[in-house]
Amino acid sequence: MSAESTVSLTTPKELERVPLVQNKRNFSWISDKVSYICESGTPLWWWLAFLPCSAIAVFGLICIGYQISNGVGVWGENHPAGWAWDITNFVFWIGIGHAGTLISAILFLTRQKWRTSINRAAEAMTIFAVICAGIFPGIHVGRVWMAWFLAPVPNANGIWPNFRSPLLWDVFAVSTYFTVSLLFWYTGLIPDLATLRDRAKSRVSKYLYGIFAIGWRGSNRQWRHYEMAYLILAGLSTPLVLSVHSVVSFDFATSILPGWHTTIFPPYFVAGAIFGGFAMVLTILFPARLLYPQLDDLITRQHVDKMAKIILLTGSIVGYAYLMELFIAYYSGNQYELFTFLSARIGIDNDGWYSWAYYVMMFCNVISPQIFWIKKMRENYLVVFTVCMFVNVGMWFERFVIIVTSLAQDFLPSSWGHYSPTWVEIWTFIGTFGIFLSLFLLFMRFLPMICMFEVKLVVPEADPHRHPVDKEAKH
Amino acid sequence: MADYRKVYGLGAEFASSADLLVAAEKVRDAGHTKWDVHTPFPVHGMDKAMGLGKSWLSAPVFIGGAVGLLTAVLLTCIPSFGLYPVIVHGKPYDWRTLPAFFPIMFELTVLLSAFTTVFAILIMNQLPKWYHPVFNWERFTRVTDDGFFIVIEARDPKFSESKTRELLESIGGKHVTLIHD
């Protein structure tokens, strides 16, 4: 063998990385295109989207007011299904938030640079989803004016809340999650608000962006602490996000109800939360990308492909958890557990009142994302969007299946009871979508949707040690 | 009129982060102490080029986290073991139930650490500070877009209007400008 062929055998051609920002854009291009969204006037489509969303939000709030003034009886919940849509919606929304924290914290710690162009929008989504989630535990207590019983203070009789209860852990977990997410989000916003401040033309926007940019001037003595703060917040958020849905799952897992009393719940819930959250990130980013085609170079095919892969991975974990639950129900030899899974959920002997929901869940969450094994499907936006819609539906049904099938048909057939939602419940849930989308539209309109300073950081010319050959960047 | 105003320092603009890094090393080697580098994003290796050590933010955050943990221990243990032990479902309520408080301890540790992180960087970076002399320099608005700047303050012991200007020009600084307070 000649020396030449040996060399070609032992040193394979180096694969080129796909650039994160396409078309070699430079720094000011990034600031221009992202800031333009906030600086240009309100487009017509924005009003067309915002008005119906805010109307739905207001109607949802009216439903909440109706429920508070009339009592929780206006909902379909009754014995034995004392939890139904309320807690389903709570777990659904809180789960959606998890993708944002995963993108902003876990992908930051693992140095996944592609996160930079989607983390801001995903974190905003986290905050708005947690706001929607927080509504339900507050109002489902019935006597809302007693909601302060959730706080760790003694009541008038000197009785303290039960600190050993997972419901109280949940109060701590969710409020900490919301607060830390908000702090993390705002910390990340400061340098970009300074960009908007420095570009602002009108007095009002100069003043408002100026106030919230708190006088940021990009000094390295500030960046030094800022970067450390970002790292610490990411480090804190990582275990936090894993803990939040674990604690939510404890609400169920620490009870003795068949279908709830399982040790697989914490990892299963966390994987499901990330799964559903990524689907929601894509659900929101597709329209945003269509409406702002100038962002195509920042939110690229690569991002969609990677998120589709995460959906495939977490969807498969969720599928594994579903099957493992079934196996353990069989393996435990517990007849109640077996009944819940085989009869109430799968519907053997036609005993399952809600087994249709189980099949919706199975199809949407386990089968539909498997299409992402095929690269062509991950590249087809219509397919990705459709699967994401399936996942959104499936993840809501997962919580419905867990909560309602276990409660409606538990140990004694004599204490079984049907459950169906009333219009108030349905519209309260639709109303939270209105709140979520209205807040997101306001965010898109007034705040930089893409983290400009972090995207600038992944452009090759940001690297002070880079090779001088690729020095030219085009406008 | 500008003549009456106090001089804050001299600022210079640089073409790229690579140029800025080399320039910062030279300013450091010239023995300046009261100066800063302004960039649209954190530049890798700039702390070393400026002669700055690692951020000591982790120290206050550790204290904040410890306070959070201690708060949670006291908040859960004092009522549950002392003030009003709640007996639910006949379950045990002695010291062996301590693990039931771990979630709250974890959450409060994270919560107070996060608050400390944010408030500590605000204090360490002296923010909010809505007025700063560098904002008087027109070119400086580009710092949040694509501008790379070095500003040497007049209170630096080695500052002299002519010599510092010379230094900034010799290391490739453009638009060297006197910044007034």
Confidence of residue B1 (pLDDT cuts 50, 70, 90): very low
Place of tokens 């995903």: A122
Percentage of chain A modeled with pLDDT above 90: 67
- The residue of chain A with its CA nearest to that of B144 is A195
**For the whole model, what pTM was predicted?**
0.92
> Which residues of chain B make contact with A163, given a CB cutoff of 8 A?
75-76, 79-80, 100-101, 104
Concatenating the DSSP letter of every residue in chain B gives: -GGGSPEEEEEEEESSHHHHHHHHHHHHHTT--SEEEE-SSPPTTHHHHTT-----THHHHHHHHHHHHHHHHHHHHIIIIII-PPP-TT---SGGGGGGGHHHHHHHHHHHHHHHHHHHHHHHTT------GGGGSGGGGGGGTT-EEEEEETTSTT--HHHHHHHHHHTT-EEEEEEE-
Task: Determine, for residues B110 and A180 on separate chains, whether the beta-carbon distance falls below 8 Å.
Answer: yes
Task: Determine, for residues A464 and B17 on separate chains, whether the beta-carbon distance falls below 8 Å.
Answer: yes
Identity of the residue in B55, B58, B127 whose CB atom sits nearest the CB atom of A224: B55
Confidence of residue A26 (pLDDT cuts 50, 70, 90): confident
In the stretch 82-141 of chain B, residues with CB closer than 8 A to chain A read 83-84, 86, 88, 91, 93, 97, 100-101, 103-104, 106-108, 110-111, 113-115, 117-118, 120-122, 124-125, 127-132, 134-135, 140-141
* Largest pairwise CA distance in chain B: 83
Average pLDDT on B9-25 reads 92
Task: Determine, for residues B127 and A216 on separate chains, whether the beta-carbon distance falls below 8 Å.
Answer: yes
What is the rounded average pLDDT for all residues in chain A? 90
Amino acid A354: pLDDT = 92
**CB distance B16 to B163 below 8 Å:** no
Cα B150 to Cα B10: distance, rounded to the nearest angstrom: 8
Please report the number of interchain residue pairs, chain A to chain B, with beta-carbon separation below 8 angstroms: 217
> Which residues of chain B make contact with A173, given a CB cutoff of 8 A?
103, 107
∠ Cα A130 A131 A135 (to 5°): 110
pLDDT digits (tens, 9 = 90+) for A115-144: 888 999 999 999 999 999 999 998 998 888
Which of A163-167, A433-437, B123-127 has the highest average model confidence (pLDDT)? A433-437
ipTM of the complex: 0.93
**CB distance A440 to A446 below 8 Å:** no
Residues 6+ apart with CB under 8 A from B132: A215, A217
Task: Determine, for residues A172 and B124 on separate chains, whether the beta-carbon distance falls below 8 Å.
Answer: no
Confidence of residue A297 (pLDDT cuts 50, 70, 90): confident
- Where do the H-state alpha helices sit in A213-264? 220-253
For residue B83, the distance in angstroms to the closest alpha carbon of chain A comes to 8
> Which residues of chain B make contact with A467, given a CB cutoff of 8 A?
none
∠ Cα B25 B28 B32 (to 5°): 155
Query: In this predicted model, which residue has the larger pLDDT, A281 or A470?
Result: A281
Q: Is A83 helix (H, G, I), strand (E, B) or coil?
A: coil
pLDDT digits (tens, 9 = 90+) for A253-278: 999 999 999 999 999 999 999 999 99
For residue B162, the distance in angstroms to the closest alpha carbon of chain A comes to 24
> Which residues of chain A make contact with B46, given a CB cutoff of 8 A?
220, 223, 464
Q: Is residue A152 less than 8 Å (CB to CB) from chain B?
A: yes
- The residue of chain B with its CA nearest to that of A227 is B42
pLDDT digits (tens, 9 = 90+) for B111-121: 999 999 999 99
